[in-house]
Every structure is written in C-alpha cells, then in structure tokens.
Structure 1
C-alpha cells in the first residue's frame, strides 16, 4: 500500500506536465494558423501545382520561340536556294505531290503511307479519275501564302495581305465568310480537306450531299487536295467527295489526290532533321509544298500556343473555334520550331500579330 502511494506521488507530476505540454502545443498551432487541414483539400492543391507547372512549360516554349523570331525579316537568297534544292531532290513535289496518270499507271499499286495494309491496285475506274498531269507543272509562283487556321489570325487584319499573294493555300476547309474575311482573306488557289472533316461535318457523304457542295463555293476555282491514300479508311470517303462534285456538276473546284509516295519522302526528310512526330501536319506539308513551287513563301496562322506573342492574352486554337488538334499525331510546337529556323535563315517568312495595311 505504501509502495502504491509512493508511485502515485511520482506519477502525478509527470501526468500534469504532459497535459500542460499538450495544451501549450495546440495553443501554439492555433496562433500560427497551422492546424492540420481536412484531407479532401489536398488534391486541389496538387492540381493547382500541376497547372502552374504546365503554364510554366508553355511560357518557356513561347519565350524560346520569340527568341528566334524577328519582325525585321530579310530574305536570304542563298539559304533559300540551298534549302529548296535539298527539299526538291528528296521529295520531288512538282512531279510527285499529286497522284496522276503519269506517275501511277493503270494496273500499278498504290501503297498507303500511314499504315501497312494490302496495296490498292489502280483499276480502270480509279485510273479514269486521276489527274492527267501534275497541276503545278514546271511553273513557279512569285509569291505564295500558306494560311494555317491558328487563333492568332483573329483580329489580325491580314486578309488584304493574304489576298495579295499570287498563290494562296488553305488547310482543312476553313470558313471564309464575311465574319473572317478581314483577317484571313478569301482568295484560294488550293485547299485541303481531311477525311475526318468530311465525316464530322457531312456524315461521310453518306446522307445529304448538297450541303457539302454548297460549302465549297467560297473557295472559287481552286484545287481540292484530298489525302485519299494515307489510310485505308480515307479512300472511300475521298472518292465519294470526288463523285459528289462530279454528280452535282460543280465545275469550280478540281479534286486531286495527295500522293502517298510524296508523303513518305517528306516524312523522312523532316525526320532526318529531328522531327519525330507520327506524321507531319497538314500545315507543314503545305509549307513544304510551297517551298518547292513558290519563290517567296509567307506563313500565316501557324502560331501553336494559346497565348498571343505580343501581349500574352489568351487566344483560341483556331480563328473560328477552340477545338484542340490531335497532339498524339502532330507535334505543333516542334514543327513550329523547325519553321522558325527557316524564318531566321531568311528562307520563309512567318507572320505573327497584326498585318499592316497594303496600298496598291
């Protein structure tokens, strides 16, 4: 009994001291606003950190791009001729960019460039609708404008400048109505049409086809370039586009088919220069084509970021909507970096921001 009493006398001060320390600790936490927060808030903090990291990465890419961009651009004739000669020797756009009866004779095989599948044999029916000759011939246009669909074109006032080019190339059937004419112009000599657009906007031409024909009127008498032989599923819808124009008696647009052999050569050309995307974007393909057939190449709407280069204000993905591109297929910032090198070397001119009024 005496032992228990002695033990309690020793433990009591210890218990009191521990209680006092615990109370003091919690008072300290309260006064310094570091009371542990509910676990449900932790993911929000993590998400914010991730978002900021993404913003930082974009800012780094934009800063790097602007370092290589010069508003005071000067053409370098020697660099242009050297690059054009190299590109032509590897890709031969003048003779191979489009499938023709000359480069794809009856009974030959068309090998898809985007997938491995059984080659498509050129039947009499297919041969009959191929272009009889290359639409570009041996002619060289003095000035060409390749118009991408980037949101940087919105409120750019570049329409007049684009229209002043001798040959204008547009990508993926962009809208050209009165809402956009001031910024993107309306002159068109060649326009591309990805089959994905034909499926999304016109039900793959399996239903009513008149809306498709009427939507092509703004392009006037232009070449309609279809990648019919990139993938097997592209062929039927591209052929339906050709027959639709023929059935409706549309004499304005001339449908032609992009040559998969040319695309293979072009992909290899850019891979050898460090571009490792699955395949070049339509914009890069058209810029490359222009470099072979034009003496002066100007690019509009190619800025791949969602912040304007002049004041960092947010901009949409396209000048007409905010739909994202397929990042798993194309690498737009990397492609833009390669084009910027050509801009810096005086080979092509990339236009960013607003255009100055031209006076005839």
Structure 2
C-alpha cells in the first residue's frame, strides 16, 4: 500500500512537471509572437511622432523669423544680385550657346567631373547661336515651385501678372489648376527622369510628349543635358522631337559650368547640399534676370504653416521623391533669410484675389523671349 502511494505521488509529480513545461512553452511562444508582431508598429508610431515633432519644431523656428509685411530693400537686393552675377553670370552662362561653348571645346558634366564630352559639329548645331537672355532683364519674375501649399491658394492671377514666369519639372497648369498656379509660362524645366518615366525616354511614341507641352505656349524648355552623361541622349531626343513636330517650345540646355559656379556660390553662403534643387537654381537665375522676384509653392514641409493641416507633396499629387539628394528644408531657410532681408519675396499664405502684389507686367502675356 505504501509503495502504491509513493508511485501515485511520483506519477502525479511527473504529470505536473510535464503540464508545467507545456504551459511554459505556450506562454513563451505567445509572448514572443506578440513581441515580434507589435514591436515594429510601436516603433514606427514613435518614429513618426518624433519626425513630426522635429518638423514642427523647424516650422515654428522659421515662422518666428518670417516677416509678413514684406518690403523690398533695394540696396541689399542690388548687392546680392551683384555677387551672383560676378560669380555665376547667369545672363550669359546659365544656358549653353554657341557663343559660350564653341565648336571643338569640351563640356564637363556637372555630376561627372572626369567625364567630359567633345562638342562635335552635330552637337554644336543643337545650341542656340546666342544666349537666349542676352543682356535683357525683366521688371518682375514669378518662380513657381510645385509644393502642396499652392493648393487652394488663389495665386494664379498674381502669378500670371509677372512679366516672366518660371516653372519647374513640367507641372500641370490646366485641368482646374489655373486658379491656384496660373498658366503663363516663359520658362519651364524638365528633369530627364520625367521623360523616362512618363514618355518611355521618347524611344517609342513621341506625339504624347509634344501634346503635353501644349498648355505652356511657347516657353524655353530647359533640360539638364550635361548634369550626367546618361541625361544627354534623352535630352537630345527631346530636342529633336520638338523640332520634328514643329513645336513652338524652344529646348535649351543648362550649362554645367554655371551649375558648378552656382553650387560654389551657395556653399560660400553656408548651404551644405549634395546637389542644388531645380527650385533654388531657378530662383538664383531669376535674381539675375529680374528686378523683382517672388516665389510661390516653395514650402518643403508636410503641414500648412498657418492652419497646420496636412499638405500633399505637390499641388497636383502626393508622390514622394524616390531618393533625396537635395537639402530642401535647408535651402528654404536660406531663401527665407533672403525674404527677411528684403531681397526676394516668398509667398507662404493664400493670395488675395484682385490684389496685385507683383510689379505690373509691361507686356502682353506672351513669351518675352520669343524672337
């Protein structure tokens, strides 16, 4: 009987041990799976909150220094413009021409310093004989970025009043956007990636590309053909396509020497960036071209500066950049400093319908560079 009780107790203890082991296994598995599933989401949420806090901190700091009642300071404007002109000379060097890039010379790629391209007779024939700007300057310029801040801004009329209007990267100006961004276009840039993504590099049908430019009228189309060697073939195809279809759009190429000098200029101003954005390049060019410069759609943040409501990345979509090589917020802080000094005006709010902030245009709304 005693042996039976001992056996029974031993069996009971063994069963309890086995049961405990099984329960511990279940508990460990369940706890581990919970950690694996929930931890990334929690981490992402915390990361997003931290990122939003950092962005809001930057916005608050910028708005504290932003001068709302802007007035141009002519002396400071002329001083800054003279610095730009002496170091970059955008009036005669921003665009490649037969005058500044002679036959037989070598063009050094802006992003590939050790890979120059020889200017052959065929390549030389694609350059305009003279620089498209010459020594001409304009009374007023509007440089239109593509930021979501332009949505519902009612700035279209104000933008179209400028004598010279610059737009970046083939943005839409029709389909209901005109009220916010206008449609007058004197110069528009095109990143080769747009030609590759939207028009298959112009290797197949080319008519859609020509038709897509119809809403701009007869502007200069500025292509960075010599930023990288891979940009040259597609930029040349764009030029040949527009010539073949007798388009009024006039393609020209950015001069990598100008881009190099401009990057050095902004570096001397304290701007640290891998590459300058198209917006900053065009704003810099406008400061040499125009007596009065206003920026629209320049706001590289995801919240409205006043209402704090979320903004799309562009006024026409929310597509994010595939990779970031531009210091957008740093560039903006430099532009805002110029605004506060009375050199350039940055529009951050809605425009007042019927109020003419820009200097009145002295010419009808056609391209002022048309020959």
The normalised TM-score by structure 2 is 0.85
What secondary structure does 1:176 align onto?
coil
Aligned to 2:227: 230
Distance 2:268 2:298 in 1: 22
Distance 2:342 2:77 in 1: 7
2:67 is equivalent to residue 70 of structure 1: yes
**Post-superposition, which runs of at least 4 consecutive aligned residues in structure 1 deviate over 6 A?**
none
Aligned to 2:132: 135
Distance 1:131 1:240 in 2: 16
Aligned to 1:13: none
Distance 1:44 1:197 in 2: 34
2:275 is equivalent to residue 272 of structure 1: no
Aligned to 2:281: 285
Distance 2:151 2:355 in 1: 22
What secondary structure does 2:291 align onto?
strand
CA-based RMSD of the aligned residues comes to 1.6
| CA gap 1:76/1:117 in 2 versus in 1, 3 angstroms | same
Contact 2:146–2:168 (Cα < 8 Å) also in 1: yes
2:100 is equivalent to residue 103 of structure 1: yes
| CA gap 1:38/1:324 in 2 versus in 1, 3 angstroms | closer
2:115 is equivalent to residue 88 of structure 1: no
| CA gap 1:44/1:86 in 2 versus in 1, 3 angstroms | same
2:336 is equivalent to residue 340 of structure 1: yes
Q: 1:350 aligns with which of 319, 323, 346?
A: 346
Aligned to 2:300: 304
Aligned to 1:322: 318
The normalised TM-score by structure 1 is 0.88
What secondary structure does 1:120 align onto?
strand
Q: Deviations over 1:232-277 (max 9, x none)?
A: 0000000000000011111x11111100000000011111112111
2:142 is equivalent to residue 145 of structure 1: yes
Q: Deviations over 1:48-95 (max 9, x none)?
A: 222211111011111112112122111001110110001111100011
Distance 1:73 1:326 in 2: 36
Alignment of 1:46-65 (within 5 A): 46-65=43-62
Q: Deviations over 1:114-168 (max 9, x none)?
A: 1134311111111111011111111110100000000000000000000000000
Where structure 1 has 5 or more consecutive residues not aligned to the other structure, the ranges are: 1-34
Deviates more, 1:124-133 or 1:208-217: 124-133
Distance 2:34 2:323 in 1: 37
Aligned to 1:165: 162
Deviation of 1:327 after TM superposition, in Å, equals 5.2
Distance 1:269 1:292 in 2: 14
Where structure 2 has 5 or more consecutive residues not aligned to the other structure, the ranges are: 1-30, 357-371
| CA gap 1:208/1:280 in 2 versus in 1, 3 angstroms | same
2:161 is equivalent to residue 191 of structure 1: no
| CA gap 1:326/1:74 in 2 versus in 1, 3 angstroms | farther
Distance 1:51 1:180 in 2: 31
Q: Deviations over 1:21-47 (max 9, x none)?
A: xxxxxxxxxxxxxx9995343443333
Distance 1:162 1:130 in 2: 30
2:290 is equivalent to residue 294 of structure 1: yes
What secondary structure does 2:139 align onto?
strand
| CA gap 1:118/1:39 in 2 versus in 1, 3 angstroms | closer
